[in-house]
Structure 1
Amino acid sequence: MSSRTAWQALSRPGFLRSAWPWRAAGYLLASGVAGLLLSVGLLLCVTVAGVLAVVLVGLPLLAALALAGVPFAALERRLLRLVDDTSLSDPHRMPARPGLAAWLRTRYRERATWRELGHAVLAAFVLWPIDLVAVGFALVVPGQLLASPLLLALDGEQVNVLKVWQVDSPDTAAALAVAGAALLLALAYPLTALAAGRATLTRLLISPEGDEQRIGELVSSRARLVDAFEAQRRRIERDLHDGAQQRLVALAMTLGLARLDAPPGSPLAAQLAVAHREAGEVLAELRELINGIHPRVLTDRGLPDACADVADRSPVPVDVSFDLPGRLPPPVESAGYFAVSEALANLAKHSGARTARVDGRYAEGLLTIEVSDDGCGGADPAAGSGLTGLADRVSVLDGALTVSSPPGGPTLLRVEIPCIPIRRTGSA
């Protein structure tokens, strides 16, 4: 059974023949160099910010230094794979809205950001000298001893080994090489133990806490459930559209042809007429059911055309206007469509509106849809209008639904969902 961590590798036979000692050396070397560069960068930034703070220009730079631990911790999570094959998840949450302001607001409020800043300061001013000294002693000293015969052969007379021994004899050089090999093997154990301890400390500082881990898992599982739910809806819609609906269309056509062949005014003709009418009503109900599950026009042509289609079927005249860069992720399009559909259904039943309008736009990573009418207002999400369920559906996508409906009207429903277009207009 292979080792997954440096700690496990230390207790396994064949450790010296494995890659773990070299992985440990590589981890300490990379961490040490990264810590050294971070130290130089932090000192330079603090100096510049301190000088510029006199004229207030340096204050934003000082505030930005609080986020220095975020990219450094991301690098450390990658370096940890050298000595620990178990994955370490990112503890940071996705901002509720797109944009730099939302990202900064989220990061400054997270405990993970401040833990990572503490880790960065520790690495920049305490850990990196230990890392580099350990690697240097474990590799440079045995390396010098091992290279003694080669250096003596190149010089021809004598070689100064480690600035300590003056070696002019091939036998002495060979003995030092043997000692160097033995020392290299012996130091592999403490070097790997140091790397494992360094990795454990880093994990304690930058790994997600219990609540953060659960939140991250919940967000991931929620996204998977949304994708699976939408995929299932599309599959059901496709099966009904291509299966049951086509059979009903064929049945209605067969009944219509049978009516033409039946004797006019006969009981058979009357029964066929009833059956033909029932088939047509069932077909209409099935089409409404399919539209309620996932309309085909939404899949084929996107959100603007789907909203225009539901507006055409509304008893209240509705103007529809969309300005989108292209197709959006299917869950976002579905949520936007059902928001418009529910809003138009509500205004047709309760608002008494004469006209309505649907406006959709995409800007700065945010889809915004507004449905307005000139009705009597007074929409109450708690009154069973379906707005509560709609708000839950939008919130699953980190979106927000707001309703303004004072008594006497007008009513404005706004849906905002952060997303990124998956296909731009005019792209293949």
Structure 2
Amino acid sequence: MDVDVDADGATREAVDEALDGAADAPQSPPPVAVLAALRARPLRFPLTRDSLRCWAYLVGGALLSLLVVVLLVVLAVLGLGLSVVGIGLPLLLAVALSGLPVGRLERRLLRLVEPTPLPDPHRALPGAGRRARLRTRLRERATWRELAHTLLVGPPLTAAGLGLTALLVFSAALVVSPLVVWALAPETVMLLPGHAVQGPLHALPATAVGLAGLLLAGYAGALLTAVHVRLARLLLGPREEGLGRQVVELTRSRARLVDAFEAERRRIERDLHDGAQQQLVALSMTLGLAAHELRQRAATAVGTPPGAGPVGDDPVLDLVDRARGEARQALEQLRGLVRGIHPQVLTDHGLAAAVTEVALRHPIPVEVDLDLPGRLPGPVESTAYFTVTEALTNAAKHSGAAAITVHGRIADGRLVLQVTDDGRGGADPAAGAGLQGLADRVAILRGRLMVTSPTGGPTRLRLEVPCSG
């Protein structure tokens, strides 16, 4: 469930209560629509539209499975035969990934009998390249579940569906057998092997058997369809993260760690701003007064009016001026450190102003295009700001880019932020801890951080995070 938390964490108790309720609530799977219809109309079910939908689903699935099995056998044989020379590997890779399109078709076909669509279990990868998509799909468990459904579950269910279809057709033929006998009008018709009938009236028992077969096929088709649906939910749908209270406690502990880290960072910023920074300012002023006093004494000693110009080289005065310059440099570095911990402009004026300030100080020209309706929650602004600064720092150090673009919008209640540079590309997010730490922080907010950097560029960093914070 989604819970909105304000920036200062004032609703932490409400969140804990909501998580307790979510952990204790039983997670029951949704009912199968076919079984619900069968329970509602047990006697009339074979004559309803639900029964027709079941047969359309079974026949369509059987034809699809037959086609897929033949195609996969051909690809596997060709792949194994040509793998010796290396060109068969793409064919074997196609067999491994065949569950993706087949699973997509199965989920669409399932709409014939299920009013609620089965969600796609795979992660969305907007803006990702082909290699990144392929690498991600091969690492996802859903890909291998779909392949297992295609190779192991599909053929037996297809065979059962074809058997029931044959029973249905045969039963329908028995039902209309008196009409067939009347149309042919011979004295003797071999309706069944070893069973000859004479005239339409003698075929009526076959009609009764056919009606019984139709009823049996209707109920069996409903049960087989229900098996299809449950296996499809298990293998083709997203897995429920039913880890219960352990997951809830893990989420709470991660949130508490982030809150504690943020509070400690604010404390360090406050101590540096109010303590060390003020002492450096006072030291710089004291050194300035000392230099002024030394110049006045030196001018008095040589009889030169104060302010008339240089009075000659004084080693002590040079040391004081040097110490004053070093104090100013230390003060600038400390201000930069404080700004990096949490800039005051972000607190006072929001994300757009803070990103614009960083862009103005960046050595590479940065174009900022942030269209935000107003202030966002504190955790969202902070995460987005440090994501941008990390991307700009990496671009300045490693990309060799000539221009950078920062684009941000609010879409469907989510902040979508993208940083693009025209550098050489080839960036590896796993090489450093900066982006990994940001990705962990984004995960706390139920967001997503994606990096696309093909060789030759461009490099794109995309952040999506709910605006609820």
Structure 1 length-normalised TM: 0.53
Q: Which residues in structure 2 correspond to 1:163-312 (within 5 Å)?
A: 165-211=195-241
Deviation of 1:132 after TM superposition, in Å, equals 0.8
Deviation of 1:145 after TM superposition, in Å, equals 0.9
Unaligned runs of 5+ in 2: 1-30, 245-345, 394-400, 408-416, 424-432, 454-458, 465-469
Maintained 8 Å contact 1:145/1:176:
yes
Q: 2:250 — aligned with what?
A: none
Q: 2:83 — aligned with what?
A: 53
Is 1:140 paired with 2:169? yes
1:371/1:23 Cα in 2 relative to 1: closer, same or farther (>3 Å)? closer
The match for 2:57 among 11, 22, 27 is 27
Deviation of 1:330 after TM superposition, in Å, equals 8.2
Counterpart of 1:116, as a letter, is: E
Instruction: Report the Cα distance in structure 2 between the residues aligned to 1:88 and 1:195, rounded to whole angstroms.
Output: 15
Maintained 8 Å contact 1:35/1:127:
no
Q: 1:8 — aligned with what?
A: 36
Maintained 8 Å contact 1:83/1:196:
no
Instruction: Report the Cα distance in structure 2 between the residues aligned to 1:184 and 1:329, rounded to whole angstroms.
Output: 64
Instruction: Report the Cα distance in structure 1 between the residues aligned to 2:243 and 2:142, rounded to whole angstroms.
Output: 11
Q: 2:462 — aligned with what?
A: 417
Q: 1:257 — aligned with what?
A: none
Moved more, 145-154 or 109-118: 145-154
Instruction: Report the Cα distance in structure 2 between the residues aligned to 1:79 and 1:315, rounded to whole angstroms.
Output: 56
Deviation of 1:40 after TM superposition, in Å, equals 0.3
Q: 1:359 — aligned with what?
A: 404
Pair member with larger Rg: 2
The match for 1:94 among 113, 119, 124 is 124
Counterpart of 1:36, as a letter, is: L
Instruction: Report the Cα distance in structure 1 between the residues aligned to 2:362 and 2:232, rounded to whole angstroms.
Output: 62
Q: 1:154 — aligned with what?
A: 183
Q: Which residues in structure 2 correspond to 1:114-129 (within 5 Å)?
A: 114-129=144-159
Instruction: Report the Cα distance in structure 1 between the residues aligned to 2:165 and 2:404, rounded to whole angstroms.
Output: 63
The match for 2:420 among 364, 369, 385 is 369
Q: 1:37 — aligned with what?
A: 67
Residues 141-196 of structure 1, C-alpha deviations (whole Å, 9 max, x = no match):
11111222332343232554355644440212344334423431243222211221
Q: 2:98 — aligned with what?
A: 68
Counterpart of 1:79, as a letter, is: L
Counterpart of 2:235, as a letter, is: L
The match for 2:134 among 88, 91, 104 is 104
Maintained 8 Å contact 1:4/1:86:
no
Maintained 8 Å contact 1:23/1:82:
yes
1:85/1:415 Cα in 2 relative to 1: closer, same or farther (>3 Å)? closer
Counterpart of 2:461, as a letter, is: E
Residues 175-228 of structure 1, C-alpha deviations (whole Å, 9 max, x = no match):
4334423431243222211221232223222232223999xxxxxxxxxxxxxx
Maintained 8 Å contact 1:77/1:88:
yes
Counterpart of 2:146, as a letter, is: E
Maintained 8 Å contact 1:143/1:180:
yes
Maintained 8 Å contact 1:339/1:415:
no
Structure 2 length-normalised TM: 0.49
Unaligned runs of 5+ in 1: 215-287, 296-306, 348-355, 373-381, 403-413, 420-428
Q: 1:426 — aligned with what?
A: none
Q: 1:279 — aligned with what?
A: none
Counterpart of 1:416, as a letter, is: L
Instruction: Report the Cα distance in structure 2 between the residues aligned to 1:141 and 1:126, rounded to whole angstroms.
Output: 21
1:213/1:6 Cα in 2 relative to 1: closer, same or farther (>3 Å)? farther
1:54/1:26 Cα in 2 relative to 1: closer, same or farther (>3 Å)? same
Residues 71-109 of structure 1, C-alpha deviations (whole Å, 9 max, x = no match):
111222222233333432111112375111011111111
What is the SS of the residue equivalent to 1:398?
strand
Deviation of 1:112 after TM superposition, in Å, equals 1.0
Maintained 8 Å contact 1:141/1:162:
no
Maintained 8 Å contact 1:89/1:208:
yes
Moved more, 391-400 or 78-87: 391-400
What is the SS of the residue equivalent to 1:11?
helix
Maintained 8 Å contact 2:164/2:217:
no
Counterpart of 1:130, as a letter, is: A
1:76/1:388 Cα in 2 relative to 1: closer, same or farther (>3 Å)? closer
The match for 2:107 among 50, 72, 77 is 77
What is the SS of the residue equivalent to 1:85?
coil
Instruction: Report the Cα distance in structure 2 between the residues aligned to 1:119 and 1:61, rounded to whole angstroms.
Output: 19
Instruction: Report the Cα distance in structure 2 between the residues aligned to 1:127 and 1:401, rounded to whole angstroms.
Output: 41
Counterpart of 1:147, as a letter, is: V
What is the SS of the residue equivalent to 2:238?
coil
Maintained 8 Å contact 2:129/2:452:
no
Instruction: Report the Cα distance in structure 1 between the residues aligned to 2:242 and 2:462, rounded to whole angstroms.
Output: 23
What is the SS of the residue equivalent to 1:211?
coil
